[in-house]
Copies of this chain bind each other. A is one copy, B any other.
Amino acid sequence: MDIIDLVLGKPLATEDEKAERIGPVKGIPIFGLDALSSAAYGPEAAMTLLIPLGMAGIAYILPIVGAILVLLTIVYFSYRQTMQAYPHGGGSYTVATENLGTGAGLLAAAALMIDYVLTAAVGISAGVGALVSAAPSLQPHTLSICLGILAVLALLNLRGMQESGGIFMIPTYLFIACLLAMIAIGVAKFFIAGGHPVPVVAPPKLGKATEAMGVWLMLRAFSSGCTAMTGVEAVSNGVMAFREPTTKYAQRTLTIIIVILMIMLAGIAYLAPAFGVAATNPDGPGYESVLSQLLGAIMGKGMFYWVTIGSILAVLSLSANTAFADFPRLARAIAQNEFLPHSLTLRGRRLVFSQGVYALAILAGLLLTIFGGVTDRLIPLYAVGAFLAFTLSQAGMVVHWRKHGGPGAKRSMLINGLGAAATAVTVVVVLIAKFIEGAWIVVVLIPCMILVMRGVKSHYARVHEATRVVGPIQIEKSGEPIVILPVEQLNAVSEKALRFAWQISKDIRIVHVDCGEPDTGDLQRNFPECVEEPARAAGLAVPQLIVVPSPYRFIIRPILDYTLELERQNPGRTVSILIPELVESRWYYVLLHNNRSEVLKALLTFQGCQRTTIINIPWNLPD
Contacts and interface: CB of A to CB of B under 8 A. Distances in A.
A448 to B, nearest CB: 15
Contact of A601 (B11, B493, B610, B616): B616
Interface residues of A, number: 87
A436 interface: no
B616 A472 contact: no
Nearest to A614: B616
A343 interface: yes
Given A605-B618, A615-B616, A538 B477 contact: yes
A593 interface: yes
B622 A617 contact: no
Interface in A421-471: 456, 459-460, 462-463, 466-469, 471
Interface in A572-623: 574, 576, 581-583, 589, 591-594, 601, 604-606, 608-610, 612-622
A488 to B, nearest CB: 11
Given A14-B552, A552-B14, A589-B459, A467 B491 contact: yes
Interface string A499-543: 110111100000000011000000000000111011100101000
Contact of A12 (B492, B552, B617): B552
A530 B473 CA distance: 5
A410 interface: no
A283 interface: no
A346 interface: yes
A98 interface: no
Contacts of A414: none
Interface in A297-349: 341-343, 346-349
Interface of A: 11-15, 341-343, 346-349, 456, 459-460, 462-463, 466-469, 471-481, 490-493, 495-496, 498-500, 502-505, 515-516, 529-531, 533-535, 538, 540, 551-554, 574, 576, 581-583, 589, 591-594, 601, 604-606, 608-610, 612-622
Contact of A481 (B14, B469, B498, B500): B500
Given A13-B552, A14-B553, A346-B553, 12 more contacts: A11-B552, A342-B592, A463-B582, A467-B492, A472-B529, A472-B531, A474-B495, A503-B574, A504-B505, A576-B615, A610-B619, A614-B616
- Interchain residue pairs A-B with the least CB separation, the first 7: A614-B616, A467-B491, A13-B551, A504-B504, A11-B552, A467-B492, A472-B534
A478 B498 CA distance: 13
A14 B492 contact: no
A342 B488 CA distance: 14
A585 to B, nearest CB: 8
B468 A491 contact: yes
A607 to B, nearest CB: 9
8 contacts: A14-B553, A462-B621, A467-B619, A469-B491, A478-B499, A478-B503, A500-B613, A503-B574
A492 B471 CA distance: 12
A127 to B, nearest CB: 32
A200 to B, nearest CB: 52
Contact of A469 (B343, B479, B495, B605): B495
A593 B342 contact: yes
Contacts of A460: 592
Contacts of A498: 473
A269 to B, nearest CB: 47
Given A475-B499, A490-B473, A495-B469, A594 B535 contact: no
Contacts of A515: 14
A500 B581 CA distance: 22
A17 to B, nearest CB: 10
Nearest to A533: B472
Contacts of A592: 341-342, 456, 459-460
